[in-house]
Amino acid sequence: MAEQSGRTPGSGRDLRSLVDPVVVVAFGGWNDAGNAATGVVDHLQEAYGAELAFALDPDDFYDFQVNRPLVSLTDDDERELTWPTTEVRVGRLADGRDLVLVQGLEPNLRWRQFSTTIASALQSANARRVHVLGALLADTPHTRPIPVSTSTYDRELMTSLGLVPSTYEGPTGIVGVIGDTLARAGLEVLSLWAAVPHYVSHPPCPKATLALLSSLEQLLDTSLDQGELPELARAWERGVDELAADDTEVAEYVSTLEEQQDATELPEASGEAIAAEFERYLRRRRGN
């Protein structure tokens, strides 16, 4: 049986050669309802051919009785072990900017050391801003757009983007810890959280992944390759519609959530929102 210590460094670009890269971070586990956040990184990795730059040594940060290594068969019918770890990959967006993707399972051990290691790597990559993604279960209907909240510790950035300060108090995951570490290291940190309908929490949730990707697109002011995500999101919604149609209690609950959400929203979209959406549409058309 071939054994792998996590994933060995690949042929990706040297992080020190990057200039003002776009950085996206997501972790599986507690911070990733419906695998929506890691789904964004998986999608970007495939869409932009991101290659492995390096992986952290899993022995330092993971409890293998909690996150066990996986056994799989290679094309040559050999068995190999893949250990839980966190990887840093590098690609390039269509607009020419470098793309740095950080993804892994939420670590079990030494969170402060883990966060400092990631922060050091991103400083070496000349990163200025980091987009940290998360997803939580919420009382939101699957028939409406998935809400995405964006927040930051940076008061100046908060003002420039018109963001509202986060008022959350309570337990946090590695997303909160690493966001704090990055901010203290002098990097701008934007946290994006998608609200996944709790009654359909089983992953994947492509509609929430698409919502996060669309919010990221707006923050970057560029068109991102959405691939099959729009089609997958529509198929997911149709599937949940069918499940609700077969269960009266679920259907009534969804109807209640719809009424609650509609009651808290303005009856008409503002002119600014319509103009922003039209501009995104035109950028996408030019990109195609």
Parts of the chain with a pLDDT under 50: 1-11, 267-270, 274
Q: What is the pTM of this model?
A: 0.86
Pairwise CA distance, residues 228 & 238, whole Å: 16
Write the pLDDT tens digit of every residue in 106-121: 999 999 999 999 999 9
In this prediction, residue 25 carries a pLDDT of 98
Pairwise CA distance, residues 10 & 34, whole Å: 29
In this prediction, residue 33 carries a pLDDT of 96
In this prediction, residue 272 carries a pLDDT of 53
Residue 124's CB is within 10 A of a number of other CB atoms, namely 12
In this prediction, residue 13 carries a pLDDT of 66
In this prediction, residue 165 carries a pLDDT of 84
In this prediction, residue 267 carries a pLDDT of 45
In this prediction, residue 283 carries a pLDDT of 61
On whether the CB atoms of residues 57 and 5 are closer than 8 A, the answer is yes
